[in-house]
């Protein structure tokens, strides 16, 4: 009798898990998977299998919103509200050797670019305007994962971050070291829309200058592969200056 009860309970739990999985949106599921990747609590092959499933579902979801995607030539600079910016090592800080997205929050290399604002006293306010600077969406897309509760004792090197899925190129834009995060997983954002404030959160960044860490990962067979976008950043910056 006890065995029958246990079997029935296990069957009930299994059904509940299936129903829960169906109730979650693709972006909620992607967010949960990305958290597991960040914390290195999921097998790489399992994570890849999940992302392979998420991408077409995310693209289809975007199409139902009847909003045009952003062509690469129209990418927007990832910050607004600044008077001047500078790039770490003049834009030569991109290093993808040894990088693996599935290394999680402790990945090696620096497959991204750090862009600094003028903030000599490191209070996350732009010196001339005395205002915080917005981190903005480079494309129209959908937020797939965020983290916005970083504190000084937090182990995360990235600090507060946002990951934005681009349905046009099937890629992920990654913004980290944010002071504040405005958006949530599943939220549609338009190119140029604020995602949060530029900051210096993160285990190492808190000791440095106020900046945004921006990366671009093209999804290939379920694996986010970094790509250098420095030329795109320069082009987008010139558009702002005009």
Domain that holds residue 176: 72-241
- Residue 6 clears pLDDT 50, i.e. is over it: no
Evaluate whether residue 125 is within a structural domain. Answer: yes
Q: Which residues contact 10 (CB under 8 A, 6 or more apart)?
A: none
Let me know if residue 29 belongs to a domain: no
In a domain, 60, yes or no: no
Is residue 3 predicted with pLDDT exceeding 50? no
pLDDT for position 109: 87
Q: Are strands 194-197 and 188-189 parallel, antiparallel or unpaired?
A: unpaired
Question: What CATH number is given to the structural domain containing 166?
Answer: 2.70.70.10
Give 7-64 pLDDT, tens digit per residue: 433 443 343 344 334 447 999 999 999 999 999 999 999 999 999 999 999 999 999 9
DSSP, residue by residue, 148-213: ----TT---SS-EEEEEEETTTTEEEEEEEESEE---TT-EE-TT-EEEE-B--STTGGGS--EEE
Of 7 and 130, the one with more pLDDT: 130
pTM of the model: 0.89
The rounded distance, in Å, linking the Cα atoms of 61 and 6 is 39
- pLDDT of the residue at 145: 97
Tell whether 135 is covered by a domain: yes
Q: List Cα–Cα distances, 111 to 91, 92, 125, 222, 226, in angstroms.
A: 12, 11, 26, 18, 6
Q: Which of 213, 206, 161, 205 is nearest to 183 (CA)?
A: 161
Render pLDDT for 135-165 as a digit per residue (tens, 0 to 9).
Answer: 999 999 999 999 989 887 777 788 999 999 9
Q: How confident is the model at residue 5 (pLDDT cuts 50, 70, 90)?
A: very low
CA atoms within 13 A on the CB side of 101: 26
Q: How many domains does the chain have?
A: 1
Q: Which residues of 192-201 are buried (b: 16+ CB within 10 A; e: fewer)?
A: bbbbbbbbbb
pLDDT, averaged across the chain: 90
* 51 within some domain: no
Inside any domain, residue 134: yes
pLDDT digits (tens, 9 = 90+) for 192-214: 999 999 999 988 888 899 999 99
Give the model's pLDDT for residue 94: 97
First-to-last CA distance in the chain? Answer: 78
pLDDT at 2 over 70: no
Is residue 182 situated within a structural domain? yes
Tell me if residue 122 falls in helix, strand or coil.
coil
Amino acid 108: pLDDT: 78
pLDDT single digits (tens) 67-113? 999 999 999 999 999 999 999 999 999 999 999 999 987 777 899 99
The answer as to whether 41 is a domain residue is no
Q: What is the pLDDT of residue 81?
A: 96
């Amino acid at each position: 009798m006890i065995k029958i009860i246990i079997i029935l309970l296990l069957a009930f739990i299994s059904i509940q898990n299936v129903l829960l999985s169906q109730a979650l949106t693709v972006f909620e599921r992607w967010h949960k998977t990305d958290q597991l990747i960040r914390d290195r609590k999921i097998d790489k092959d399992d994570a890849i299998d999940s992302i392979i499933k998420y991408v077409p579902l995310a693209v289809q979801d975007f199409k139902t919103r009847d909003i045009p995607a952003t062509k690469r030539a129209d990418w927007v600079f990832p910050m607004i509200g600044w008077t001047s910016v500078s790039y770490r090592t003049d834009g030569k800080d991109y290093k993808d050797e040894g990088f693996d997205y599935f290394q999680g929050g402790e990945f090696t290399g620096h497959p991204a670019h750090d862009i600094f604002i003028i903030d000599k006293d490191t209070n996350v306010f732009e010196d001339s305007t005395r205002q915080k600077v917005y981190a903005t969406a480079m494309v129209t897309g959908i937020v797939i994962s965020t983290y916005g509760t970083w504190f000084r004792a937090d182990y995360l090197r990235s600090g507060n971050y946002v990951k934005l899925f681009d349905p046009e190129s099937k890629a992920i834009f990654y913004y980290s070291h944010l002071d504040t995060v405005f958006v949530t997983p599943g939220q549609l954002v338009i190119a140029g829309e604020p995602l949060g404030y530029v900051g210096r959160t993160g285990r190492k960044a808190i000791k440095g200058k106020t900046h945004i860490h921006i990366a671009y990962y093209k999804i290939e067979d379920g694996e986010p592969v970094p790509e250098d976008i420095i030329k795109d950043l320069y082009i987008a910056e010139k558009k702002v200056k005009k």
